[in-house]
Structure 1
Amino acid sequence: MQLSAQKIKRCREQKGWSQEVLAKATGLSLRTIQRIEADKRASAESVLAIASALEVMPNQLQSADDEIQVNWTRRMIMTGAIAIAALLATLISLFNLVSDVSHYLDLPTLMFMSGFTALFSLLSFGTSGFKKVMTGLKYLFAREVIGGESARLLGKLYGQQITYLYASAVVLLLIGLIAVIKDIATDPATSNLLYLLDNILPVLILPFLYAVVINEAILRPLKHKLELHSG
C-alpha cells in the first residue's frame, strides 16, 4: 500500500514520538519504519500496526495520489473469468429460451453505442482518462482493490460511462422514432402493427438491452468495487 510520509510524520510528531518510539509502539523494527517513511510503501499488516499505534484509521495514512494496487493471483483471475463466463452463458441461455440468439445480435447498434460512449468519454476525460477507463476493466477480475483517491476517481469515470451508455440508447431510440414517423408518413403500409412489431420495435428496444447488460453486469459492479476499496 502506498502511504503519505508527511501524514505519518505529522501524526508521529503530534504525539511527540521519534521513529524509534513508533517502532517500539508498533512492534516493527526501526529500519522498517525508516524504510516506510522513505519509500512510502508498506504491507497491509505494517499499515494496520502503524495506524493502531498512532490511533488513526489506515486510510488516513494513505497517499491521496497513490496508484491503484491489486494483489493479483491466478485464483483471483480464474474466479473472475469463470464468473463472467457463467454470466454470459446464463444470458445466452435465457435469450435462447425466448428466441434465437441471433435475434439479439445487432452489430451496427453495438458499434454506434461503443462509438458514442468512446467519443463522449474522450471529450469529458481526455485521452488519459479514456485510457484509464479502458485499462481499468482488468480490476473486474480482482477480489480486492486498494487505491485511495485514484480508485475513487476511476469509480466516478465508470459512473459517467454508465450514463453515456444509457444516453446512447436514448439517442438510438429517438433516431428510430423519427425514422418510423417518416416511414409512416411516406408509406402508409408501414403503419401496420405487425410490421412495426417485427421490424421496428426490436431495433428500438435492443440498445436498452445492451446498455442494461453492460452497465449492470460489468460497469456498475466494477464501480462499486473501486468505491468500496477507495478508503
Structure 2
Amino acid sequence: MSKLMQLNKNKIQQLRKHKCWSQDELAAASNLSIRTIQRVEKTGNASLETVKAVASVFEVEPLYLQSNKDIENVTFNFLCKYSWIAAFALSSVFFGLWIVDILIPTLKGADFNNQYKIHGDFRYLDFGGISFFAGFALLGVNLFIEFLNRKRMTGRVTVNSEAD
C-alpha cells in the first residue's frame, strides 16, 4: 500500500469549483473514483498516484496541492516551542542587572537599601526569579507536549503497521 500524503483540501475544492466541476466530473477527468475524490476533499489524505492525477488535471505541480501550515500557525508553534529560552534569557538579564546595579555597589560599601531607591525600588531578583521559574515551567510544558506528540506518532506507526 502506498504512503498517504496530506493535501490542502481547500485548494482542491477551490480548483474544482473554479472549473465549475462537480466531484463526479473531477473523478472522471482524473480517472479516479468518486469515493477517492470525496475522501481527498474531506480528509486531505491521498496516495502519490492520486496526487499526481489531480495535479495533472488542474495543470499544477503536485507540491502545490500539499498541505501548507499557515505562517501564523508556524510562528505560534515556534514561539511555544522556544519561549522557555526567552524566559531564561530574561532571567539572566535581570540577575545580571541586579549584580551590576545592586550587589557590586553594595560590596563596595554603598547602602543596600539606598541602591534600590536609586533604581526606583525595582526588584531585579523578583523579576529574575519569576522569569527563571517561568522558563522551567515552559520547558516542562514543551517537553510534555513533545512526549505526547512522539507517543501519538508511535501509536500511528503501530496502527499503520497492523494494517499492512
Name the TM tier (shorter chain): 0.3 to 0.5
Structure number with greater Rg is 2
TM-score (norm 1): 0.30
